[in-house]
Amino acid sequence: MSRAAPNDPSGEGSQHGNAAPSTEVRAMFDRIARVYDPLNLAISAFQEPRWRRRLVARAGLGAGGRALDVATGTGKVAADLQRRVGPDGHVLGVDLSPAMIDVAARRFADRPGLAFVVGDALALPTDDGGFDAATIAFGMRNLPDYRRGFAEMARSVRPGGRVLCLEIARPRSRLARILRWWFDRIVPAIGRVAGQGGAYAYLVRSVKAYPAPDRIAEIMREAGLTDVGWESLSGGIVTLHVGTVGPR
């Protein structure tokens, strides 16, 4: 069994949430903030922009809309949401890691209506029902309590609005063996070459610990979402869950 490097969270989780303390998760993302984007593109085999476009398209937003991107990281999903809602809209990106938020805020400083703030997904700095949609991309698996994460997103969205979660999955398709090999061998190797072996070993462990798509759909319903469904992207290596906020 692989061991975490010193100061890297274990990534061992449960059906409830990631076992790694948020302080360790935050410190790890602070360390990798500057190399995160190029590494992310490489480990996704350049698929990540396509997945992001699908997420934003399913959010159901139009010009002037209000969107929340939780665990926004370097802000790419938030920036795509801002493009969708235009200059009259409003998009807020929230992340636990000050270094990630710093990268996002610098990169997208010229975008009207796009703001970034440090905050915890389990206690979002948002008003009830203040947004038309809330997204989380590759962030849910890092949270110590998935249900509370979804409940906080649902609380922040108006009735009838959408909550969307894009996350890496363990594929069961015919491509599964190749994809697992890529994930178990190539992803940690890319991380090691970039001097971030511990962080990318954590990524692999946290994906293995993350519940199956059906269970995530159940957790979303337990968090108060309705019409929950999910789709597999790129042969099942990523899943996109979508739910609707019910009447309050």
Interaction of residue 150 with ligand SAM, rule CB under 6 A: no
> DSSP state, 155?
H
Nearest-CA neighbor of 75 among 54, 57, 99, 46? 99
Question: Virtual CA dihedral for 180, 233, 111, 132, nearest 10 degrees?
Answer: -130
* Smaller CB separation from ligand SAM, 137 or 217: 137
* Smaller CB separation from ligand SAM, 41 or 63: 41
Which of 56, 67, 77, 103 binds ligand SAM (CB under 6 A)? It is 77
* Smaller CB separation from ligand SAM, 81 or 85: 81
Rounded least distance, CB 27 to ligand SAM, Å: 10
Q: Which distant-in-sequence residues (6+ apart) come within 8 Å of 197 by Cβ?
A: 5, 188, 191
Interaction of residue 139 with ligand SAM, rule CB under 6 A: yes
Q: How far is CA 176 from CA 13, 173, 205, 212, in A?
A: 22, 5, 17, 14
Interaction of residue 71 with ligand SAM, rule CB under 6 A: yes
- Give yes or no for a contact between 79 and 137, defined as CB atoms under 8 angstroms apart: no
d(CA 134, CA 221): 16
Interaction of residue 198 with ligand SAM, rule CB under 6 A: no
CB under 6 A: which stretch of 5-13, 20-28, 193-201, 229-237 binds ligand SAM?
A: 20-28
Residues 91-130 within binding reach of ligand SAM (CB under 6 A)? 95-97, 100, 120-122
d(CA 158, CA 210): 28
Which of 9, 13, 17, 73 binds ligand SAM (CB under 6 A)? It is 73
Interaction of residue 32 with ligand SAM, rule CB under 6 A: no
Q: Which distant-in-sequence residues (6+ apart) come within 8 Å of 246 by Cβ?
A: 159, 224, 225, 226
* Smaller CB separation from ligand SAM, 48 or 132: 48
- Give yes or no for a contact between 144 and 22, defined as CB atoms under 8 angstroms apart: yes
Rounded least distance, CB 241 to ligand SAM, Å: 15
Judged by the rule CB under 6 A, the positions of this chain that interact with ligand SAM are 22, 25-26, 29, 40, 71-73, 76-77, 95-97, 100, 120-122, 137-139, 142-143
